[in-house]
Amino acid sequence: MKGINTKMLHGYPVIDGYTGAASIPKYQTSTFDQKSCYVDGKKYSYSRFGNPTVMALESAVAKLEGAKHGLVFSSGMAAISNVLMLAGAGGHVIFPSEVYGGTFQFATEVMPRLSMEVSLLDYDDLELVESSIKENTKILYIETPSNPLLKVSDIRKLVEIAKRHNLITIADNTFMTPFYQRPLELGVDIVVESMTKFINGHSDVVAGMIATNSDEYVGCLGLFQKNFGAIMGVEDAWLVLRGMKTMGLRMEKSVSNAAAISEFLAKQEKIKTVYYPGIPTCRYYKIHMSQASSGGAVLSFKFYKKEDMDKFIEKIKIPIFAVSLGGVESIISHPATMSHKCMSKEDRLKYGVTDEILRLSCGIEDIEDLIEDLGQALAD
């Protein structure tokens, strides 16, 4: 099987081996009958260590990412925090300065308490990145496109830098998904994603995942997962398995809507800047399209005046105004008071997350209706 949509329907244990059911059942159990204490190699003993429904999802994740191993977690931040534990006490981790707000908070408020060092750098300056590597640097963390300014990092060049210094590369691929960007194929060691977003796609689950080809890393991460208790519930795993089956179709429509909306917004008098790497006028277009196959389904846009933004939020009808992204419904967020609220105002301004910016995750609504709604919300 070569096609990713085919793999999502047939490339993992889809059929229940016991009953022949066409959908993996919800094995809603905390424990399993052992029969004997003298039988070694028992596959299931306790659901924190492994559950058939959850492990089916882990197999699907590996297939989706083109990886040898997949692990799923109770949230995207559970996945992110677990992979960052690979740095160890005394380890130094380099992040892009415009990293997601939750990751920023973990890096600046939690990691120092675990005796870890952190640097937040502008990844546009690759010389700065390399010159900032120290003897105790363990991880080079990548997030591209970034949240919410859609800045793009050159994955290939960052991997080259990391390999020269024997660093682990971790890439947050939540915005692009493996349908449009495949970091493992570009040399990244570990991919992390929030499955809350496009992978599940229905705004009814909180979940995270990692994928890797490394036996060593998956061994460590499996240990962290079990001992931190960052496991996924059976109901959530089943819902994500269901959502993944239509991911390709959903993403195709959402990406098409994002491209059309970015062009529309770029022509509006009240909009100062549109942040979307899929349009040729974006400064990151060339780099992005060299490592991804579309601009993705998320864009941000900045108003000249905050009062115009406030009126827009009051008048918009179709997209919901909420935290998160990646659902079948379009979602507008205000990063300064939502995803990046945990950052101080000084840090938000420093990294360009100003009060006039909105982020739009495009859903699968008819584009004519979305454009009409955006137009009336922008009208005087």
Cα distance between residue 337 and residue 262, in whole Å: 23
The position carrying tokens 């992390």 is 192
From 123, 141, 151, 172, active-site residue: 172
> Is 48 a catalytic site residue?
yes
182, 197, 250, 359: the active-site residue: 197
Question: In the annotation, is 351 catalytic?
Answer: no
Whether 186 and 170 have beta carbons less than 8 Å apart is answered as: no
Q: Say which of 48, 242, 253, 341 is annotated catalytic.
A: 48
- Dihedral sign for Cα atoms in the order 123, 193, 62, 182: negative
Single-letter residue type at 162: A
- In degrees and rounded to multiples of 5, residue 71 shows phi and psi of -130, 145
DSSP category for residue 185: G
Active-site residue 276, yes or no? no
Helix (H) or strand (E) holding 358: strand 357-361
- Rounded Cα gap, residues 213 and 135, in angstroms: 25
Segment holding 71, helix H or strand E: strand 69-73
- Is 172 among the residues known to form the active site? yes
Residues 6 or more apart in contact with residue 75 via CB below 8 angstroms: 194, 196, 206, 207, 208, 230
Q: Catalytic residue among 12, 27, 63, 100, which?
A: 100
CA angle 263/380/324 to nearest 5° reads 55
Residues with a catalytic annotation lie at: 48, 100, 172, 197
